[in-house]
Structure 1
Amino acid sequence: MHNPYKPIPMRIARTVVETDDQSLKSFELVFEREADREKFFAKYRPGQFCQLSIFGKGEAPFGVASAAWEGDFVRFTINKIGVFTRAIHKMKSGDAISMRGPLGNGFPIEDWKGSNILIIGGGYAFTTLFALAQHLLAPEIRSQYNDLTVIYGAREPGLFLYKEEIETWYKRDDINLYQAIDRPVEGWSHFVGYVPTVTKEIAPSAENT
């Protein structure tokens, strides 16, 4: 039986600096043991979080920022703001780290089947919402839901997360994506304005949403 409170040995497979100011970095962790991988993904749901721990540095909770279908890794996007987060930002591919989870209830995705989905987020709080959108876009899952709309805002273009992945969303016809920045920037071709204002302008339907 999977015990979410027992530390799982993990290893950093890949790191990505997400923002131009280099304050946010994503870490893709892989499992040292196949049995742990199977147990984790059997339980994981978008919206859950895990506790990451570094020996001698402590432990902290982070929302999972990946969908199960993306690969045999678990992604976390971490803002460099304290002792623990500064320590993890210094880590590199191949380094060992411990993880507990998944924890929390996750989003009630089973209850949403057959409904329109509206996801609204901003800044680095978009991590678990990104995981939710990625989950819904899986080929075997997308048809279970109706319209999928994502409104995502940031202060400036360089502060958006997951730029490569989100660029692929624009090429799909089964997701309505709206990105917005606070103030005009040369070369920006999407929305300008705060997220509540942009949401009002887009005016997504509340029916069956």
Structure 2
Amino acid sequence: MSNPYIPMLTTVKNIVSENKVNDIKTIELEFKKAEDYNKFNYIPGQFAEISLIGKGEAPIGIASSPTEEGSIKFTIKKMGTVTSEFHNCNIGDVVGVRGPFGNGWPIEEMKGKDIVVIGGGFAFSTLRSLVIYLLNEKYRKDYKKITVIYGNRDPGEVLYRNVLEEWKKHDNIEVVLTIDREVEGWKEKVGFVAPIVKEVAPSSDNAIAVVCG
């Protein structure tokens, strides 16, 4: 049995700046050993402890879905010493990974139900993992309508813009973006998340809500 206190080694495969102020980045990692990748068996909603040698370790939610095979992704907001070090990473750098940890989202309990995904700010990362999982052709038939409601203070804070647009192309999903105050050029909803939920969410009779942020 592997030691949970010893990190598995990965390398940085790709880095994406997710917002206009450049304080949130998604880092994609590849495991150095195939057996480590196979052992890292996670479900949407879990997190991992990721580390840079000599720099420290931080618990970060897993932004990728298990259906995105071959690598794992973490969306990291620059907040303190360790997260700042991750923002200074380059492709090819070595990152330690321990986990996965946490219970994850109850994907079995969601089967046969309408799913309402409600998120705000950069905490949307583990919801990204969930929605990509639900939309995968292998699992999509197990779930009914998906409603995604994603709130931010302003347009510059919206993450995963390309991914959100891809979601809209799928059947039986509604993606609703909202910002706190009206901004010129913004074509989506304006207002706080709570009233938007009342406006667009399906009946609660056969629905389950997943909230983060």
Q: Which amino acid aligns with 2:24?
A: L
Instruction: Please show how residues 1-209 of structure 1 align to structure 2 within 5 Å.
Output: 1=1, 4-40=4-40, 43-209=41-207
Deviation at residue 82 of structure 1 after TM alignment: 0.4
CA distance in 2, matches of 1:159, 1:97: 26
Write out per-residue CA displacement over residues 121-169 of structure 1, whole angstroms, 9 at most, x where no aligned residue. 0101111011111110100101001111110011111211111111111
Uncovered stretches (5+) of structure 2, i.e. residues with no partner: 208-213
CA contact (8 A) 1:4 1:103 kept: no
Distance 1:57 1:78 in 2: 15
Query: What is the deviation of 1:174?
Result: 2.5
Distance 2:116 2:100 in 1: 24
Deviations 1:94-147 (A, max 9, x none): 111100011111111112111111110010111101111111010010100111
| 2: CA distance, partners of 1:70 / 1:174 | 21
Counting aligned pairs with the same residue, the percent is 46
Question: Could you state the TM-score of these two structures normalised by the residue count of structure 1?
Answer: 0.95
Distance 1:164 1:115 in 2: 27
**Residue range with higher mean Cα deviation, 142-151 or 65-74:** 65-74
Question: Bigger CA drift: 2-11 or 122-131?
Answer: 2-11
Find the aligned partners of 1:89 and 1:146 in 2 and give their Cα distance. Answer: 38
RMSD of Structure 2 on Structure 1 (CA)? 1.2
- The 2-side partners of 1:5 and 1:133 are apart by 30
- Opposite residue 158 of structure 1, the aligned amino acid is G
